[in-house]
Amino acid sequence: MTGEGIIRGETGAQRLLGYMLDVGRSDGRARCHLTVGPEHTNRHGMLHGGIVATILDNAMGATGSLTRDPQGRYPFLTISLNTQYLAPACEGETLVAVGRITGGGRKLVFIEGELRGPEDRLIATATGVFKPVPQAPREETA
């Protein structure tokens, strides 16, 4: 982790794709940042849809995590994710995905996400259901 609330290189997917996760804002919404490189494009030279879904999934899951842990590190599982692709993104563009809790309770959390590009252009939206991973009680160490 570098910087307050910034997570880099924590997971294999994060290292592979090169995105950065920001869980340090006071609004309880995580953000996933990615600058589109040639390694992120499909055969048409546009951002690959699977990467769009991955970035949204990460921002939304981390938003869920913030409901349990102010550091955004409480593990959440994606139960379902529906993605709507609205506009292409091109190499060199910096994108930001952000999650927003829309409902749920202790066992399931409903979250919406938006992926935006330059000039606040809406690239994609998503809705999802996320589940906190049950944590074993921590043992006290003497």
Residues 6-132, CATH architecture: Roll (3.10)
User: Tens place of pLDDT for every residue, the chain, 142 residues?
Assistant: 346 799 998 889 999 999 999 999 999 999 999 999 999 999 999 999 999 999 999 999 999 999 999 988 899 999 999 999 999 999 999 999 999 999 999 899 999 999 999 999 999 999 999 999 987 666 655 5
pLDDT at position 2 is 47
84, 65, 54, 12 alpha-carbon torsion, rounded to 10°: 180
- The per-residue pLDDT for 134 is 86
Q: Which pLDDT score, from 0 to 100, does residue 1 have?
A: 38
**How far, in Å, are 34, 41, 80, 99, 119 from residue 90 at the CA level?**
12, 8, 27, 22, 14
- Chain position carrying tokens 């529906």: 82
Which residue is associated with the tokens 């550091």?
A: 71
- Contact between 59 and 97 under an 8 Å Cβ cutoff? The reply is yes
Taking the C-alpha atoms of residue 112 and residue 35, their distance in angstroms, rounded to an integer, is 22
- Separation of alpha carbons 13 and 102, rounded Å: 26
Task: Please report, for residues 72, 126, 139, the alpha-carbon distance to residue 25 in angstroms, rounded to integers and kept in the order given.
Answer: 11, 21, 31
